[in-house]
């Protein structure tokens, strides 16, 4: 089952949202502080033909995420039949992350997927997993537009 909310070990709710975009830029706003800027957030990408490689960014917003134990995160690009076509996964340095968590209890993941091969137009998904459990999934579409 897929949730956009997941209860952590203490019973607190973790909320998530997945946003796709063309690119993410980090902009300094003051000494030692930066803000992220999403370039063209979207739910669809155009390619001139398929198969084709495409680079894009994904931001996963979280609130109330538990950093207890040894958290392991996975971000997958799936086709309409749930085949993995690309993925980024890693253990989180929990102690380092906990030391830098903000007072709102939010934590964002900013990912760049580069040269992902899309073999056909249609629906695809970004999946966010925590410790092997799918937390959230976002659908997006690849559209062939020969005019680009």
User: Per-residue confidence at 66, pLDDT binned at 50, 70, 90?
Assistant: confident
The mean pLDDT value of the chain amounts to: 89
Determine the 3-state secondary structure of 37 from DSSP: strand
User: For residues 78 and 144, what is the distance between their CA atoms, to the nearest angstrom?
Assistant: 18
Using an 8 Å Cβ cutoff, are 6 and 13 in contact? yes
Residues making up the chain, counted from first to last:
148
- What's the mean pLDDT in 39-62? 96
- What's the mean pLDDT in 91-98? 81
Locate all alpha helices (DSSP H) within 16-120, ordered by sequence: 94-99
Please say if the pLDDT value at position 6 is more than 60: no
Please say if the pLDDT value at position 5 is more than 60: no
Closest C-alpha to 79, from 118, 135, 128, 129: 118
pTM above 0.75, yes or no: yes
In terms of Cβ atoms closer than 10 Å to its own Cβ (0-12, 13-18, 19+), residue 70 is exposed
Per-residue pLDDT, 1: 36
Q: pLDDT of 19-31, one tens digit each? A: 999 999 988 888 8
Locate all alpha helices (DSSP H) within the chain, ordered by sequence: 94-99
């Amino acid at each position: 089952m897929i949730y956009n909310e997941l209860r952590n070990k203490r019973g607190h709710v973790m909320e998530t949202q997945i946003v796709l975009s063309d690119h993410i830029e980090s902009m300094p706003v003051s000494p030692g502080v930066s803000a992220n800027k999403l370039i063209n957030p979207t739910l669809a990408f155009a390619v001139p033909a398929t198969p084709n490689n495409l680079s894009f960014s994904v931001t996963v917003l979280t609130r109330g995420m538990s950093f207890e134990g040894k958290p392991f995160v996975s971000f997958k690009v799936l086709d309409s039949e749930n085949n993995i076509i690309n993925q980024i996964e890693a253990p989180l340095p929990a102690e380092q992350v906990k030391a830098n968590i903000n007072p709102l209890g939010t934590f964002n993941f900013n990912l760049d997927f580069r040269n992902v091969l899309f073999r056909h137009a249609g629906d695809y998904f970004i999946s966010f997993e925590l410790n092997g459990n799918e937390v959230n999934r976002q659908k997006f579409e690849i559209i062939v537009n020969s005019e680009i």
